[in-house]
């Protein structure tokens, strides 16, 4: 399927949300909340949470370095859908290739916020405070302070949905640790954990502790 960049000025908020809905885009950070619902909010800021907390994960920083243009376009579509005036990509200082790829491509409506290289990191409430100075009240959502938060893969999926009508059929992930070939790869939804481990050359420990979970 060929890529067709859609100028932000040529598509309205309702059409962006509909294309995102039709493509089945949901939050790729773990919660799986429907993204088109999140994009119904009216806010002034869209934040890409690219902190990638766990030290052995590489996927988000690699995607930002390799698909910087698409990430910025996806951020622009999310901003159009929500009426936001500012887009922020929050990432750690040590993600040098991603910073180098994004910085020269940033439009005037987007900026990077460089997070400290600490662990843990990436908590939504803390990241919003660090990037915007806004504090979310207890039990409140980011929209209560005028912010919508998405992670890197969600924003990339927004761009694919708007530009290509591309449905979410895969996920990019890092396989690292006690495996023969640590790697980042895109896998189809529904793949088994056993198959993912096999793609990384298998576990390098006798008992990975997954005997009851891996099929």
3-state SS string for 138-194: CCCCHHHHCEEEEEHHHHHHHHHHHHHCCCCCEEEEEECCCECCCEEEEEECCCCHH
In this predicted structure, what is the pLDDT of residue 29? 77
Tens of pLDDT, residues 17-55: 999 999 999 988 777 899 999 999 999 999 999 998 888
Q: How many helices (H) and strands (E) does the chain have?
A: 8, 6
Positive or negative: CA dihedral 137, 138, 144, 145:
positive
> What is the pTM for the complete model shown?
0.91
Domain definitions of the chain by residue range: 9-164, 169-215
Give the pairing of strands 183-188 and 170-175.
antiparallel
- Look up tokens 């949470």; give the residue: 49
**Dist CA 171 CA 62 (whole Å):** 14
Phi-psi region of 201 (alpha: psi -120 to 50; beta: other; left: phi over 0): left
Phi, psi of 158 (to 5 degrees): -60, -45
Tens of pLDDT, residues 123-164: 899 999 999 999 999 999 999 999 999 999 999 999 999 999
Q: Tell me if the domain spanning 9-164 has CATH number 3.40.50.11540.
A: yes
Highest mean pLDDT among 89-98, 118-127, 199-208: 89-98
List, in sequence order, every residue forming a beta bridge with 174; answer none if it has no partner. Answer: 184
Q: Are 178 and 203 in contact (CB under 8 A)?
A: yes
Q: Give me 141's structure tokens.
A: 């959502």
């Amino acid at each position: 399927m060929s890529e067709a960049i859609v100028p932000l000025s040529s598509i309205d908020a309702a059409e962006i949300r509909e294309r995102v809905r039709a493509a089945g885009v949901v939050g790729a950070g773990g919660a799986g909340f429907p993204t088109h619902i999140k994009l119904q909010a009216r806010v002034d800021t869209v934040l890409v949470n690219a902190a990638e907390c766990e030290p052995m994960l590489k996927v988000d920083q690699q995607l930002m370095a390799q698909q910087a243009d698409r990430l910025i376009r996806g951020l622009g579509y999310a901003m159009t859908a929500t009426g936001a005036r500012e887009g922020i990509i929050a990432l750690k200082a040590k993600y040098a290739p991603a910073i180098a790829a994004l910085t020269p491509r940033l439009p005037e409506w987007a900026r990077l916020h460089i997070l400290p290289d600490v662990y843990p990191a990436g908590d939504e409430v803390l990241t919003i405070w660090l990037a915007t100075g806004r504090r979310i009240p207890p039990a409140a959502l980011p929209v209560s302070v005028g912010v919508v938060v998405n992670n890197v893969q969600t924003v990339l999926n927004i761009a694919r949905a708007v530009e290509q009508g591309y449905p979410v059929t895969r996920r990019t992930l890092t396989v690292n640790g006690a495996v023969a070939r640590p790697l980042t790869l895109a896998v189809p939804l529904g793949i088994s954990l056993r198959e993912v481990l096999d793609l990384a050359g298998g576990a390098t420990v006798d008992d990975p502790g997954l005997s009851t979970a891996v099929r």
